[in-house]
Structure 1
Amino acid sequence: MADEPKAMTAEEIEALEPTYIGPTWQRNPDGSWHLPERTLGWQIAGWCAEWLLSKEGGPWRFTNEQLRFLLWWYAVDEHGVFIYRKGVLQRMKGWGKDPLLAVLCLVELVGPSRFSHWDAAGNPVGVPHPQAWVQVTAVNQSQTTNTMALIPSLMSDAFRKAYGIKEGAILIRANGGKCRLEAVTSSYRALEGKRTSFTLLNESHHWILGNHGHQMYETIDGNATKLDSRYLAITNAYLPGEDSVGERMREAYDKMVERQERARATGEELQAVDIGYLYDSIEAHPKTPLTEEALTIVLPKIRGDAVWLNVKTIIQSIHDTTMSIARSRRMWLNQVVADEDAIYGPGDWEPLGDEELMLRPGDEIVVGFDGGKSDDSTALVGLRLSDLSAFVLGLWEKPDGPAGDGWEVNRLQVDSAVHEVFRTFKVKAMYADVALWESFILEWEAAYGEGLGVKASERSSIGWDMRQSLQRVTRAHERLMTAIFDGRIKHDGDRSLKRHVLNVFRRENNYGVSFGKQSRESKRKVDLYAALMLCHEAMHDLRTRGKKQKVKTGRGYFL
């Protein structure tokens, strides 16, 4: 069974490298593993080998992959402060997330999990937390059981005696009751105000609004911030659009990377808020076909060091037609792929990207604009006519958290950006949704409308009212959708544009397929996509009924 229209050769499949997120699989230029300079991880690995047991009954041993993750999770800076405050470990089903985190829970309970001092060689030395309070959290009891049930078999008799372990199904005490490890399920009120030292979030891709997952996560994060503690989530690939905590944590990570990349590109100083988040994942290439030949090559890469996973059995599960292809990709290839209602998945958009693409002054472009006021984003997108490469020219979004309270877009800043676009590039057409921005669009039309190669409507050179004609919007959207699926659109890999594209959901009507957010209340924005649709429609109209004319700059003319 395959879901690709064209068969790939073994060489082509071999070249489909997985996406590695996080430091676990990073290498130095000489090919050696990139490891943290300072970490408690080495001491912790030795402690685990001394006190904990493997499944076979011998001393616990981490796989090389697990060990590298351990080293990074317990990495410290020159002051002995943990580099990472929170983290996510995302792997395919069966990789061994629960056993690894069960071990870490015992480390956090009584192991050398906190920095004490530097030894004579300059290495960090760890000591146990004096009053450790470790919580294993989930939205149902079976999820906490996955972790808690593993813990008794990990503890050696010497461990139990040395640390005074008192065992229970949902509560384990140590050191005379000073330290505790407990399971907490579906009750954010039970988490509120607890002085936890470490929290495990189990299967965060199942934490949604309906089972209080959002409230549990907000409580855990608040506790960790207040008490300067840490938390770590384990997850499989989430279902896009479900708005799970797993999805929110990935979006927060992607936004952090967006800010870092933009700061490097513009020379701005990185903000402290961008530091302290470890996200670690291995995901199959978006173009991976589901043929037996392809999976035989790809699955050993995705499983990493989890050699206990049987590739042949996984292939049989994937080919079982009782399970959707999208779900199989999420479970076994660790791919973030949408179900039927989402129009695009990463596999549709990412292959169109080329980070080498650059928009240069003087390039001929068409421009799309979708404006908001406070909640919706305001987006400005350009499409280069020579190669149909899309570029984000401006994005103004409501900030997350308290910074977003009472926020409104700076209209003068947006207006200035539009004028800068016309000064910098040869703008052949501009389509702008008129909602909330009528007065500014009239000014842009007065300044530049006469020089544009096509009119947005009979009444306006720039104003394109998306509210007036469902048929017109649907036709425009279907043209863009076809261009994307046919691979005619390119982009420079902008993460903001990717985020908005993947947020788009199908909206069928009497005229065909239009688009929208997942719901009216959804905070997942699609405004950059709407702006892309407008500039793509401007390009289409320019080519089918446009005119050649001198371009007015606002101060004069040039050809």
Structure 2
Amino acid sequence: MGVLMVPRPDDEPWPTLGPQVCDLLEERAIHGPGALRGRPYVLDPEKRALIYRWYEVYPQGHPRAGKRRFKRVGLSVRKGTAKTELAAAVAFAELHPEGPVRCDGFDADGEPVGVPVSDPYIPMVAYTEEQTEELAYAALYVMVTEGPDADLFDPGLDRIMRWDGLGRAVPLASSPDARDGARTTFQHFDETHRFTLPRHREAHQTMLANIPKIMLFDPWSLETTTTYTPGEGSVAQGTHEFAELVASGKSKDRTLFFFHRQADPRPDEDLSDDEQIRAAVREASGPSIAAWPDFEGQVDAIVSLYNAPDTDRAYWERVWLNRRVQAGRQAFSVARWAELARPDQPLPEKGERITIGFDGAQFRDATALIATHLATGFQWPLGIWEAPPGANEGDDPDQQWECPADEVDAAMIEAFDTWDVVRAYVDPPYWEGLITTWQGRWGEKQITKWWTNRLKAMAYSLRAYEGAMKTGALTHSGHEAYARHVANARKKQLKMLDEQGKPLWVIEKERHQSPLSMDGAMAGCLSWEAHRDAIAAGVKPKRKPSRMIVLR
């Protein structure tokens, strides 16, 4: 079965507050929004086992006796397994004035004695404001307003407080600042596969850094998610890959607990086969979910989604089998791009011949300048400019981010001063004034307007760019932002065929207003197109001067 658990269960179980927490939940909590709303909360065996692990404490006699073993917890399971409701239930226990969530010594049998947090502060972070209203915070709201302990809480849409005035849970959206969670006792990050922007990762790191600040509260973090799309650089990806490093012994972290369940892919797997696809869904679900009422009815519904003619099967595989698979519309292989990285390769020497690609928007989005070494096909960014965290969030056009044209111009000047730029292909929209300046400075032969809205020409250029990746003719510096832009590019199929009858495609963002930029990928393609055209025109890499040795 495809399970990654870090750390694995110990031969001798650790002391845990888990049984007391589970008893509180099943006695005092109710199910949140959904078919079971309002019914007494029931934990299946797997969720009970997870809570036992999450609340392990150091044993008597240890210098840190009674303190939490794990400070950071990650849970990655398929869609539809009630993981968000589980996180809400944990928040309920952490907020409850009688929640046995911290150890206050040990009883005569050596078992930990649980007590509530005196003044809990619980930020619950979601990707968007809409998520805060739909996911974990919404489930917690139902638990405290419709359950048997409703008189213990003062609920609101922007905070849930205890009636004693000590403690609250708050929903946070998008990109909380450094003050959010400054005195955190417990915090939850929901659907972290959606936390893909730099500001999301920065907020996550800031809030993790708040955890060690008030050790008397013994605070901790919980991250719940369906698994991530490779290459998007999400928080979920970072946590999962770090857990794999810990599991392999390549990194050490005694404070991390991570659990991931998936249907392991098989070399000869055929998901069009009814028996195999059902087995995969069962494996991704695990035995506890498989014991739910009418589980086979759920399997029927999941399989029917796979068989629908308009289904994105890569997405289906990610959310229902919890497999890390490249997005179905993803234009370029993220794994292959990683293989082509040469981070230790030095940049070409001064005077070497290069080509340049330029693409981007002057406002709101991103702009990129990518260079390609004529002799080797090695690419690196001369500059990638992206809107900083928090920019573009209002409706006022005067408040929108603007790419610094002077920095873009300076990067181009430095490139021409350092190397022999034989061709630069630049996409004109939004930058006509600057491009005209460049043409006046270096000439139209070196600065060529290359319109990316010429769909057929663009499609053939992208095919060549992808082909260079497949053959290894193209390598790159491993620049993080460039890799992210390449991963963000999505295919848009055209109503055009090539000479062999194969469909042509161009690239676009995942959606029109998506904050996930792909201008670096377009600039890289233009740089590669200039590289191809230069070679086709007979431009040769500069040869290093040879030395003549005279024998006497």
Give the TM-score, by structure 1 length.
0.56
Q: 1:147 to 1:539 in 2, by over 3 A?
A: same
Aligned to 1:380: 369
In the alignment, which of 354, 357, 362 is matched to residue 368 of structure 1? 357
Q: 1:274 to 1:493 in 2, by over 3 A?
A: farther
Q: Which amino acid aligns with 2:319?
A: M
Instruction: State the distance in 1 between where 2:299 and 2:54 align.
Output: 27
Q: Deviations over 1:405-435 (max 9, x none)?
A: 4532222322333344445556553322233
User: What are the within-5 Å matches in structure 2 for residues 80-99 of structure 1?
Assistant: 89-93=75-79, 97=83
Q: 1:434 to 1:231 in 2, by over 3 A?
A: same
Aligned to 2:486: 501
Q: Which amino acid aligns with 2:195?
A: M
User: What are the within-5 Å matches in structure 2 for residues 68-467 of structure 1?
Assistant: 89-93=75-79, 97=83, 100-101=86-87, 103-108=89-94, 109=96, 110-112=98-100, 127-129=116-118, 170-173=146-149, 177-179=151-153, 191-192=157-158, 195=161, 217=173, 231-235=187-191, 248-252=194-198, 255-256=201-202, 275=209, 279=223, 283=227, 291-292=268-269, 308=288, 322=307, 324=311, 325-335=313-323, 342-344=329-331, 348-354=333-339, 356-362=342-348, 365-385=354-374, 388-401=377-390, 405-422=399-416, 427-438=421-432, 440-441=434-435, 444=438, 459-466=444-451
Deviation at 1:370, TM superposition (A): 1.6
Q: Which amino acid aligns with 1:372?
A: A
Q: 1:483 to 1:199 in 2, by over 3 A?
A: farther
Q: Deviations over 1:4-48 (max 9, x none)?
A: xxxxxxxxxx9xx99x8xxx7379xxx999xxxxxxx97643642
In the alignment, which of 539, 542, 546 is matched to residue 547 of structure 1? 539
1:25 maps to 2:14: no
Instruction: State the distance in 1 between where 2:360 and 2:123 align.
Output: 46
Q: Which amino acid aligns with 2:462?
A: H
Instruction: State the distance in 1 between where 2:513 and 2:44 align.
Output: 52
Instruction: State the distance in 1 between where 2:18 and 2:495 align.
Output: 62
SS in 2 for 1:353: helix
Q: 1:336 to 1:466 in 2, by over 3 A?
A: farther
Q: 1:32 to 1:272 in 2, by over 3 A?
A: same
Q: Deviations over 1:48-94 (max 9, x none)?
A: 2675669999998977766665679xxxxxxx99x98x997442246
Instruction: State the distance in 1 between where 2:299 and 2:477 align.
Output: 34
Q: 1:401 to 1:462 in 2, by over 3 A?
A: same
Q: Which amino acid aligns with 2:366?
A: S
> Is the 8 Å Cα contact of residues 368 and 533 (structure 1) preserved in structure 2?
yes
Give the TM-score, by structure 2 length.
0.57
> Is the 8 Å Cα contact of residues 369 and 379 (structure 1) preserved in structure 2?
yes
Instruction: State the distance in 1 between where 2:22 and 2:377 align.
Output: 57
Instruction: State the distance in 2 between where 1:337 and 1:501 align.
Output: 16
Q: 1:178 to 1:282 in 2, by over 3 A?
A: closer
Aligned to 1:45: 18
Instruction: State the distance in 2 between where 1:409 and 1:134 align.
Output: 34
SS in 2 for 1:344: coil
| Cα RMSD (Å) | 6.0
Deviation at 1:528, TM superposition (A): 0.9
Aligned to 1:479: 464
Instruction: State the distance in 1 between where 2:440 and 2:482 align.
Output: 29
Deviation at 1:549, TM superposition (A): 7.4
Q: Deviations over 1:147-167 (max 9, x none)?
A: 68998xxxxxxxxxxxxxxx9
**Larger mean Cα displacement after TM superposition, 429-438 or 87-96:** 87-96
Q: 1:424 to 1:361 in 2, by over 3 A?
A: farther
Q: 1:432 to 1:508 in 2, by over 3 A?
A: same
SS in 2 for 1:381: strand
Q: 1:509 to 1:463 in 2, by over 3 A?
A: same
SS in 2 for 1:401: coil
SS in 1 for 2:149: strand
Q: Which amino acid aligns with 1:379?
A: A
Q: 1:284 to 1:133 in 2, by over 3 A?
A: closer
> Is the 8 Å Cα contact of residues 343 and 504 (structure 1) preserved in structure 2?
yes
**Larger mean Cα displacement after TM superposition, 534-543 or 53-62:** 53-62
Q: Which amino acid aligns with 1:544?
A: A
Q: 1:507 to 1:93 in 2, by over 3 A?
A: closer
SS in 2 for 1:548: coil
Instruction: State the distance in 1 between where 2:208 and 2:519 align.
Output: 24
Deviation at 1:368, TM superposition (A): 1.5
Q: 1:393 to 1:280 in 2, by over 3 A?
A: farther
Instruction: State the distance in 2 between where 1:336 and 1:516 align.
Output: 22
Q: Which amino acid aligns with 1:412?
A: D
Name the % identity. Answer: 19
Q: 1:409 to 1:251 in 2, by over 3 A?
A: closer
Count of paired positions: 437
Deviation at 1:284, TM superposition (A): 8.7
**Larger mean Cα displacement after TM superposition, 419-428 or 515-524:** 419-428
Q: 1:94 to 1:178 in 2, by over 3 A?
A: closer
Q: 1:192 to 1:143 in 2, by over 3 A?
A: closer
Instruction: State the distance in 1 between where 2:74 and 2:198 align.
Output: 11
Aligned to 1:7: none
Q: Deviations over 1:83-127 (max 9, x none)?
A: 98x99744224666257425413422232558999xxxxx9x974
**Larger mean Cα displacement after TM superposition, 465-474 or 281-290:** 281-290
